[in-house]
A and B are shown apart, each in its own frame.
Chain A
Amino acid sequence: MSARRGYEGVAVAVPVTVPYVRYSVRSAHWWLARALGEALKRSGLKKTDVDGLTVSSFTLAPDTAIGLTQHLGVSPRWLDHVPLGGASGVVALRRAARAVQAGDADIVACIAGDTNHVDSFRLTLANFSQFARDAVYPYGAGGPNASFAFLTAHYMRAYGATREDFGKLCVAQRANALKYPHALFKKPLALEEYLSARPIAEPLRLFDCVMPCAGAEAFLVLSEDRARTLNVPYARLLGAVERHNAFPSDPIQIRAGWALEREALYAQAGVGTGDIDFVETYDDYPVISMMQFEDLGFCGKGEGPAFVRANTFTHDGSFPHNTSGGQLSVGQAGAAGGFLGLVEALRQLTGEAGGRQVAGAKVGLASGFGMINFDRGLGSGAAILAAP
C-alpha cells in the first residue's frame, strides 16, 4: 500500500447546529439553508467566499447536492454529495480536506440536515436499499431494529455484555445531554428506567433506539492560514480514515472498518489511544459504541463490557464519551447524526462546549458508522482533531 499523505495545514472550524425539533413541516432544503446561513454568519464569510460544498441528507430527494446549488444560489467549483448516513461527517471531512490541500477549493462548507414529517422515517426506510427491501423489510421490523437486535443479542452471548453495560453508556450520555441546549431529551435517565423500558425488538428496548427528528449540522474546512486570517476558532485535522463493507465474510457483524484502519489513523495523526481526551462514537445503538471502543483500539475485541464496567463516560469521567449526549439523547436528525460527533468534537476543542467541557481537551476522536444495507452497517470512518 502506498504511503498516505497527512492533513497538514487543514483546519476545521465553525461548528453549527440548527436546533432540532421532533417534527417539521419544512423540507430538508430549509434545514440545509439554515445550516449554511448560520455558518456564514458565524464566520463573517460571504456566500461567494464558500467555493466548495458537501451535502448529506436522506430527505432531500428528489434533489441531490447539485439541485441544492441552484436552490441556495451558490456556484461552487468543488461539489460532493455524500449519502453515507452516519459515516457522512467523517467522509465529507476527508473529501473537503483533500480539496483544500490541492487547491481545488479554498473554503468548503460541509452541511448535513434532514426534515422529519410524521411519515419521513417510514418513507426513508422503505426506499433505503435494495437488499433491505428484498431481504429485511419483508420480515416486519420496518427498519434496522431487527438487524441490530440480532447483532446485540449475538454480541451479548459472545462477549458477556449485559443490558446493564449498555445502560451505563446510555445513562452517562443522558447526563451529558442535560448540559447540551440542543438535546431533545431534557430529563435524566436512570438505569432502572432504561432496563424496564418498553421492548422494541428483544433485547433492544426503547432507550436503545434513537429518536428521529429534524435538524442540521455543519462545519467549514479551510486552510489553517485562512482560518487565522478570518480569526475563527478552529481545530487541526490530524488524521482521518474510512473503510466500507469491511469483513464481508463475518457471518454476523462484530466489528467494522475501524479495525482495519485504526493503525493507519493513529500513525497519520501521530498519536496513540492514550493521547485521546474524548471520543464521540456513532451511537445508533449502544452496542455499536462498544464495538467502536474495541475497533478503535481502546480495548481488545470482546473486552468492551469490561472496558465499560471499568470506566465512567460523562464529560468529567474517566473516558469522556458522546459529550453532547450522542444521538441517543440528542435525537437523530437523519444524516446530521453523522455530523453530530464531529461538531461536538469541534466545540470541545475550540472551548465552546459550555457546561460539558472536557477539562484540558487537546485531542479528540470522532467516528462515524452507517448505512445498514442488509444485516450490518457498511460505512465506517474516524477522524482525529486537535486544538490548534
Chain B
Amino acid sequence: MSTATLTKLVSDLAAGRVRIVDLTQTLSPEFPQISLPPEMGQCWPFRIEEVSRYDERGPAWYWNNFSCGEHTGTHFDAPIHWVSGKDLPGNAVDTIPPENFVGPACVLDCAKESAADPDFLLTVPWIKKWEKKHSRIPPRAWVLMRTDWSKRADPVEFQNYDDTGQHTPGPDVDTVKFLVAERDVLGFGTESIGTDAGQAYHLRPPYPCHYYMHGAGRYGLQCLTNLDRLPATGAVVFAAPLKIRNGSGSPLRVLALVPA
C-alpha cells in the first residue's frame, strides 16, 4: 500500500498533479536578523565570503564559506532552544525523531488583521471561527500563521521597530496553550522574525509561544514565505533542520506539497 502511495506521489509530482511550494526565504546578508539588547550574546546574521571564483585562488572552481546562527533566515526552533524545554527527551535537532519533520499544515490567514495592526495577536476565538469554516485542526499538524509579513521586502518594514521595540504579529498566551493542550499540534510557524509577537516580552509569561510550545516538546518555524500559495488545509510540509549535534535549531529548506 505504501509502495503504491509513494509511486503515485512521484508520478503525481512529475505530472504536476502535486506541486511543491517553497516556503523558504533566500539566505543572504541582507535578510533581517533578530537582534537582542547589546549586552547579550547575539545570533549571527548570514555572512558569506568567497573562497575562489575560477581564479588564482582556485582556477576551475567557485565556492564560498558562510556563517550564520542556528536561528538565521527561515529556520527551525527545537525544544532545547527554550529554558522550558531544556530537559525533554529528543529535544535537539539531532535527536528529534525524523517522522516529526513531515506533517500536515493548517494555514490561518490573518493577513488583513496584521495589515491593520502589526501587533495583532491570534486568539482562541479567532481559531475557532477558522475551524468552523475549514475543519478542526488535526493532531500533529503544523499551524502556520499567514500574515503576508514576508511581502515586506524593505528590511525596515520587516523588522518594524520603533523606540518601544519590535511590532510584529503572533499568538497570544491562551492560543498557544490551546494549540498544545487541545489540538496536539506539531509546531507553530510564522512569516515574521519570531514565532512570538514582537511585543511578546510584555505578555505573561513573556514569549508564550516559545515557552509553551518548546516546553511541550513542540517546534517552531519562522521567516516563512509563500503561505499565500497554500490551501487553508491539505498541504503537507517537509521541515527537516540540519543535524547539528545538540543543536537548538537551524536554517532549513521548508517545502510544502500541495494539490494542484
Do A and B have CB atoms closer than 8 angstroms in the complex?
A: no
